[in-house]
Amino acid sequence: MRNPKVETVRGVNDVLPPTYRLQKQIENQLSSCFQSFGYRPIDVPVIEYTELFLRKSGEELISRMYDFTYHNRRLCLRPELTASVARAYIQTTLQGEPLPVRLYYSGPVFRYEKPQRGRYRQFTQMGVEAIGAAGSMADAEMIALACQSLDKLGLKDYRVVLGNISLLNQFLRTMPLERRLGNFLLSQMEELRKVRRAALEAAIEEICPPDNLVETSRLQHLLQGLSEEEAKATILELLENTNVNLVGNRQKMDIANSLMGKIQRAEQKPLWLKALDFMEQLAQLQGKPQEVLPSARQLLASYHMDSGGLGELEEILAILPSYNIDSTRIRLDFGLSRGLQYYTGTIFEIHHETLGQERQLCGGGRYDDLVKTLGGNNDIPASGFSFGIERIRLAMESEGILPVVEESTVDALIVPLSAAEHCYSIEVGEKLRSKGLRVVLEVRGKNLSTSLKYAAKQTIPFVIVVGEAERLANVVVVKNMATRQQQQLPLEEAVMVMRRENDE
């Protein structure tokens, strides 16, 4: 009876040789494109402290991490590479290099997703990060590099969706929203288009339940118009003047903080309702740049907001044609927020209709706070993007442009006719390998006819037969499997014949 099989974990894949070679070919093409823009390769560990992603990646990604504790250390399998590259930049000599530091990477990432075609729990990300460059020129280079990489691969049917998260960030910053709530709202920008607003409001009520409003309303009234610091000082003063027996300053401070928290929570609802109104209006702004930009300008003006983010987008759109980027591919979408919370400015995604389904091939943007958040120098702006290699392969497959991978990876099969030729056949193999040929040896003692069938099945173009006569004369028999012709030759000549006939 057979032992039970051990299978792959759900959502992960074995990559068999033909697919592996295809993906490597795609990665090589992307590498040469990245290198042509001055990016250098970097490799970072698959395993990181969970803390790296907790600092700034956002709930959406954190909830899908493979996160575990091992010997009292909280570790995870990386769910993306930007945070790791930023960490490596801060931790190594890279931080001393002249800016910008341009890096590219490729490797597996892990996310606990609901698996389906094109969505896996382990997949390969390949992307770039430019650390230390701000502004529209840098942003445009990022978008252009992503598009040119896809052009190089021959992909045609992709769309670029461009947005700017700073508008929403700026709006949320003008309000004294609890940080957790602000982050939640940021992460819900794209959800707004998918779920009913009432459902979102219910979710927010759950995160931020209104405290006992009656209890706090008098205090709230008393502290109206005061800054947070002034309000806290007033509460402390009130406590000083009561006869309540409090042990030390610490306890007073705790009470003041808790009251402040209560008051702030009571004041949150009108704020997040206003934020949701703004987000709903932002989310409707999508389409061709020339149509969307004027409406965006109007919206910002109606909220008395600075339109700096729009200016940046306009500059980027003006630069892209110099990179020969087809402007009809580009759409603006102010509802784009991307799940990752570290973005601060221009963000973009590249989508493709892959096998009947809209798929995201690439995502990226500007993350000017991440280096600082991870403990690096202040004011190091940065931006980057990442491709999903498996999705690029699927997109190429659906456009029918997958490169043809060479069928045979072997140039010749060497067949010793008896045990007496084993050593000689090994020497022949070694000499052929030293000449750059890819050779396999018949090691199972199969006879010539079985070996010829094997070579035909494996599309090996040449079979080299060595028998006693060949060993004694220091020659080999070369059989061309396509023409069925064979000749006895010294090894040097056999190599020349194989090379010539292979080129024909």
Compare residues 359 and 471 and give the one whose CB is closer to ligand AMP.
359
Compare residues 119 and 232 and give the one whose CB is closer to ligand AMP.
119
Tokens of 487: 């000749």
Cis peptide before 100 (omega within 30 of 0): yes
DSSP three-state, residue 310: helix
- 34, 53, 120, 424: which one binds ligand AMP (CB under 6 A): 120
Could you tell me the smallest distance in angstroms from the CB atom of residue 78 to ligand AMP? Answer: 11
Compare residues 119 and 269 and give the one whose CB is closer to ligand AMP.
119
Does the protein bind ligand AMP through residue 362 (CB under 6 A)? Answer: yes
Q: Which segment (100-108, 116-124, 139-147, 204-212) binds ligand AMP by CB under 6 A?
A: 116-124
Check if the beta carbon of residue 164 is closer than 8 Å to that of residue 366. Answer: no
In whole angstroms, give the CA distance from residue 289 to residue 306.
Answer: 19
Alpha helices in 3-80 (DSSP H): 17-36, 51-54, 59-62
Other Cβ atoms closer than 10 A to 8:
9
Check if the beta carbon of residue 33 is closer than 8 Å to that of residue 26. Answer: no
HEC secondary structure over 180-216: HHHHHHHHHCCHHHCCCHHHHHHHHHHHCCCCCHHHH
Does the protein bind ligand AMP through residue 360 (CB under 6 A)? Answer: yes
Q: What are phi and psi of 258, to 5 degrees?
A: -65, -40
What is the number of the residue whose Cβ is closest to ligand AMP? 388
- Encoded amino acid at 361, one letter: L
Tokens of 490: 């010294």
Residue recorded with tokens 């399998």: 77
Could you tell me the smallest distance in angstroms from the CB atom of residue 275 to ligand AMP? Answer: 24
DSSP three-state, residue 113: coil
Could you tell me the smallest distance in angstroms from the CB atom of residue 342 to ligand AMP? Answer: 11
In whole angstroms, give the CA distance from residue 490 to residue 503.
Answer: 20
In whole angstroms, give the CA distance from residue 168 to residue 334.
Answer: 9
Compare residues 60 and 201 and give the one whose CB is closer to ligand AMP.
60
Check if the beta carbon of residue 109 is closer than 8 Å to that of residue 125. Answer: yes
Compare residues 15 and 213 and give the one whose CB is closer to ligand AMP.
15
Footprint of ligand AMP on residues 54-93 (CB under 6 A)? 80
Compare residues 78 and 102 and give the one whose CB is closer to ligand AMP.
78
- 388, 416, 429, 467: which one binds ligand AMP (CB under 6 A): 388
DSSP code of residue 178? -
Compare residues 120 and 272 and give the one whose CB is closer to ligand AMP.
120
Q: Cα 480 from chain centroid?
A: 47
Does the protein bind ligand AMP through residue 111 (CB under 6 A)? Answer: yes
Does the protein bind ligand AMP through residue 104 (CB under 6 A)? Answer: no
Does the protein bind ligand AMP through residue 19 (CB under 6 A)? Answer: no
Q: Give 68's strand partners.
A: 75
Does the protein bind ligand AMP through residue 372 (CB under 6 A)? Answer: no
Could you tell me the smallest distance in angstroms from the CB atom of residue 114 to ligand AMP? Answer: 9
Q: How many residues bind ligand AMP (CB under 6 A)?
A: 16
- 163, 363, 384, 416: which one binds ligand AMP (CB under 6 A): 363
Does the protein bind ligand AMP through residue 119 (CB under 6 A)? Answer: yes
Q: Which segment (32-40, 186-194, 361-369, 455-463) binds ligand AMP by CB under 6 A?
A: 361-369
- 164, 216, 268, 386: which one binds ligand AMP (CB under 6 A): 386
Using CB under 6 A, list all residues that contact ligand AMP: 80, 111, 113, 119-120, 123, 125, 360-363, 386-388, 390-391
